[in-house]
Amino acid sequence: MNPVPNNSELEQRLLSALFFGAEEVNAAVSDGLVAEAFYVPANRALFEALRACAAEDRSTEIEVVWRRLTGLSGDGAGVRIAEIARVQGLEPTSLRRQSLTVDVLGLWRQRRLLDALAAAREAALTPAASFVDVWEAAEPHLRAASDVMQDNRRRKFSEIAEAAAKSILSPDPRKQVPTPFPVWDRAATAPRGGQMIVIAGRPGTGKTALAVEIADFIAAGDRIVAFVSLEMSGEELITRIALQRGGADCAGTHPKSRAALAAKIQEVGRMRSLQLFEVKDAVRLEQIEASARLLASAPRGLSAIFVDYLQLVQPPADSRRDIREQQVAQMSRRLKLLALSLDVPVFVLAQLNRESEKDDRKPRLSDLRESGAIEQDADRVWFLYAKDNDPTVFLYQAKCRNGPAGIEAPFTFNRPIFKFIPQ
């Protein structure tokens, strides 16, 4: 059996560097260092004593740390004061504190990865009625394995302020994901990484058509886009993209139109930046998360995610017995966290309840079907609605966190080619 990855001397050298003061301890904690990262119990106990001294703004002298260590464990966790003095003298300066922290965290992550994979293997080998049952048992451990690479570093308040000021003075254009409608982007502001944008409307208002048009526009800029289709087949979606691109020449039943459409479909099929996931590929939330993380880890990264639509996603296995509202709330929250962790916008399509049809009015946030959590988690909510016997479809930004709400724009929805045309 292979030994568990650990290095006691490396841990002790890091502890030695932390003895140089509370600032070093707090900096290591900000970099993500936690007690669990230390494999040796004595080293873990010593770090907890150092962290407690730093949190209380006390000295990190040997006697102070020893008294704190004794108070935490009752017996000094088996560490003699002479041993603490030896550890303190291992690293003569604090200059290597950051690199030592990275190395200790790396070993800890390696142990966590091995533990998660071992647990997934054990779950996969457990007899089950079907492969779906096997997957549901192993999936939480696989998710834990993928979470190993999550950055645990806690930013200092000054760093956050500096980043906020920089985003105002020098906005990063890579974080902006423009739509095909420049006028709309100027008024409503373009979507950004980390945002969850809900596109909602009653059936027939063009939610999927709008999402496909935006996704194709982003992908045409050689940016990777993941489109999860839980309502339409891949053939239907690619045909819609071809019709949007080809326009009137590809619409209709005339042989020339059909030939033009087929040629345009072939052209769309050669595109590599739009990654399409059909029902069989990503019907479950865990599959959507895993696919998105895999694309984001590739060299070209990931620019946007589209989910069509939220109410058709299968909830996680651990919430199957919850009421529907709680299931939707959990899925909404996890999609928002996915947007934050990958720093990409996640466009989530959603249905409206029938209350929005009773009066001749624009939709309200309370009209979102099945869960108020969608409204809470969303950074933006875009409603599509049309008035009776009016060909105009309105795009209405009812919510925009840290941005303008109440923005509305009229569009002509060309249904034969599924295309939105600004008026």
What's the pLDDT at 73?
Answer: 54
pTM over 0.85: no
What's the pLDDT at 321?
Answer: 75
266 and 347 fall within a common domain: yes
- Pairing relationship of beta strands 392-400 and 274-277 according to DSSP bridges: unpaired
Give CA separation, 287 vs 180, 206, 228, 250, in Å.
Answer: 29, 26, 10, 35
38 and 143 fall within a common domain: yes
Q: Domain ends where: 121, 139, 170?
A: 170
* Pairwise CA distance, residues 18 & 104, whole Å: 13
- Residue 122 is part of which domain span? 1-170
Give CA separation, 188 vs 41, 116, 210, in Å.
Answer: 54, 43, 16
35 and 116 fall within a common domain: yes
Helices (H), 78-233: 81-88, 97-125, 131-147, 157-169, 182-188, 207-220
- Residue ranges with strand state E in 315-372: 346-351
* Pairwise CA distance, residues 18 & 33, whole Å: 11
* Pairwise CA distance, residues 294 & 299, whole Å: 11
227: helix, coil or strand?
strand
Q: What CATH number is associated with residue 93?
A: 1.10.860.10
* Pairwise CA distance, residues 54 & 308, whole Å: 49
* Contacting residues for 147 by C-beta, under 8 A, at least 6 apart: none
199: helix, coil or strand?
strand
Q: Domain ends where: 108, 141, 170?
A: 170
* Pairwise CA distance, residues 206 & 355, whole Å: 19
Give the residue from 165, 206, 221, 200 showing the smallest Cα distance to 392. 206
What's the pLDDT at 188?
Answer: 92
DSSP labels for 11-22? HHHHHHHHTT-H
* Pairwise CA distance, residues 276 & 95, whole Å: 48
Amino acid at 155: R
406 and 265 fall within a common domain: yes
What's the pLDDT at 151?
Answer: 67
* Pairwise CA distance, residues 266 & 276, whole Å: 15
* Pairwise CA distance, residues 414 & 91, whole Å: 71
Give CA separation, 115 vs 34, 107, 122, 214, 318, in Å.
Answer: 18, 12, 11, 41, 21
- Per-residue HEC secondary structure of 138-171 comes to HHHHHHHHHHCCCCCCCCCHHHHHHHHHHHHHCC
Exposure pattern of 138-173 as b/e (b: 16+ CB <10 Å)?
A: bbbbbbbbeebeeeeeeeeeeeeeeeeeeeeeeeee
156 and 34 fall within a common domain: yes
pLDDT tens string 252-309: 888 898 999 999 899 888 888 999 888 776 678 888 888 888 888 888 889 999 998 8
157 and 204 fall within a common domain: no
Amino acid at 217: F
* Pairwise CA distance, residues 18 & 12, whole Å: 10
319 and 236 fall within a common domain: yes
* Pairwise CA distance, residues 131 & 402, whole Å: 45
Q: Domain ends where: 118, 146, 170?
A: 170
Residue 370 near residue 356, CB atoms below 8 Å: no
Give the residue from 252, 200, 229 showing the smallest Cα distance to 381. 200
Amino acid at 76: G
Number of independent structural domains in the chain: 2
Phi, psi of 380 (to 5 degrees): -140, 145
What's the pLDDT at 173?
Answer: 67
Residue 27 near residue 1, CB atoms below 8 Å: no
Q: Which mean pLDDT values do the consecutive 10-residue runs of the chain (423 residues) have? A: 86 94 90 92 92 87 85 62 88 89 93 92 87 80 77 72 80 80 93 93 88 94 91 89 89 88 89 86 79 85 91 78 81 90 93 72 80 84 83 91 90 91 91
Give the residue from 363, 283, 378 showing the smallest Cα distance to 329. 378
What's the pLDDT at 121?
Answer: 92
106 and 229 fall within a common domain: no
270 and 134 fall within a common domain: no
CA–centroid distance for 314 within its chain = 18
163 and 183 fall within a common domain: no
What's the pLDDT at 25?
Answer: 92
Number of Cβ within a 10 Å radius of residue 4:
11
Phi, psi of 257 (to 5 degrees): -65, -40
What's the pLDDT at 310?
Answer: 85
318 and 185 fall within a common domain: yes
Q: What CATH number is associated with residue 279?
A: 3.40.50.300
107 and 207 fall within a common domain: no
Tokens 């993928």 appear where?
A: 146
Most distant pair of Cα atoms in the chain: their distance: 91
